[in-house]
Amino acid sequence: MIVDLLILTALLIFVLGAAMKRDTVKAAIALALASIMLSVLMFRLASPLAAVFELSVCAGLITVVFMSTISLTKPLTVLEEERLHLRGRHFAVLPILVLAAAGLLVMVGIPTDLALPQAASAQDVRSVLWNERQLDLLGETLVILAGFFGILVLFKDKPTGVGRTGAAWLKAERFRKEKSDETTKVESNQPDPAIRV
Amino acid sequence: MNNQTAEVLRMMTIFIPLLFVVGFFCVVVTRNLVRTLIGIEVLSKAVTLLLVVAGYTTGRTALAQACVITLIMIEAVVVAVAAGIIVNVVRHTDSLDRRNLEELRG
């Protein structure tokens, strides 16, 4: 009971860190730590398979995806970073809001005297997944396929700007166009050597 | 429901809404697209915990775990595609600010 309370408190602290941290890399790391705490909690709540999935996918794969995204989309200037975090001061009220919500929940409370259904006989997760939740598995497969094609389309190379990011590519193109315009202007002003005056 | 289960349920009825509060606040307040995605992830974690607690309380842990596994798989795909969208938004608008997407210019 005390252990569960400590794990839940750590989970809440890491989640607050993920929401409030100014540096997005540190926020992603805090989210990964929150996933680890959630995984430990799931083990304690008799859900080991779900805990393993949470640990490997959320704490592992999703953190890697976040790090890749952050590295590819790092704010280009210090000014951009400052502007994006202008709303950072609004996050200062988040711990106060969380404490107020906690106080309200402790005082009012959500009723827990539920009329529970009869406990089912012990079942294996694999038999439930393959026998009872077949449509879920089909849906998962379709979602994974849709995600795969979505990412292929999103990361398709531009025909001319291979290997460049949008902004740098546009700048390079504009510079090249100006240079070629200047060269054309200089060439057109030169007298034709074939014509003799 | 035995005493231990009742205690766990009582604790979770306080902590799970708090996770929802943090997730919603993060999604609504921030203008940074990456931070919005982090907020969506926090909301996902709250739902995952709620499913596991529901399974533990009712004794149907197998069904709860099956639902959680489905949720985690779909969440991973959603995050991957959202990350791809964010990278493309930065390539087009040179910014992570969501206000640049409000005018729907191609």
CA atoms within 13 A on the CB side of A103: 6
Which of A4, A15, A70, A121 would you mutate first to test chain B, the one with the most B CBs within 10 A? A15
As separate numbers, helices (DSSP H) first and strands (DSSP E) second, chain B gives: 3, 0
Dist CA A99 CA B28 (whole Å)? 19
Q: Is residue B44 part of a domain?
A: yes
Same domain, A102 and A42: yes
Q: Is residue B26 part of a domain?
A: yes
Contact: B77, A80; criterion CB under 8 Å:
no
Tell how far CA B15 is from the center of its chain: 15
3 state SS of B52: helix
CA-based R_g, chain B, Å: 18
Q: How confident is the model at residue A190 (pLDDT cuts 50, 70, 90)?
A: low
- Contact of B66 with B24, CB cutoff 8 Å: no
Q: Is residue A117 part of a domain?
A: no
Predicted-complex ipTM score: 0.91
For the segment B1-55, what is each residue's pLDDT rounded down to a tens digit? 677 788 888 888 899 999 999 999 999 988 888 999 999 999 999 999 999 999 9
Same domain, A100 and A167: no
> Of all helices (H) and strands (E), which one includes residue B28?
helix B3-29
Tell me what pLDDT residue A121 has.
Answer: 61
Domain count within chain B: 1
Question: Domain of B90?
Answer: 3-101
Q: Is residue B66 part of a domain?
A: yes
Q: Is residue B106 part of a domain?
A: no
CA pseudo-torsion sign B78, B84, B88, B91: positive
- Contact of A105 with B13, CB cutoff 8 Å: yes
A48-57, A171-180, B55-64, B87-96: which has the highest mean pLDDT? A48-57
Contact with chain B for residue A97, Cβ under 8 A: yes
Question: Domain of A180?
Answer: 146-186
Tell me what pLDDT residue B10 has.
Answer: 86
**Mean pLDDT (whole number) for A52-67:** 93
- Contact of A112 with B13, CB cutoff 8 Å: yes
Same domain, A28 and A97: yes
Q: Is residue B13 part of a domain?
A: yes
Q: Is residue A132 part of a domain?
A: no
Contact residues on chain A for B83, CB-CB shorter than 8 A: 65-66, 68-69
Contact residues on chain B for A35, CB-CB shorter than 8 A: 45
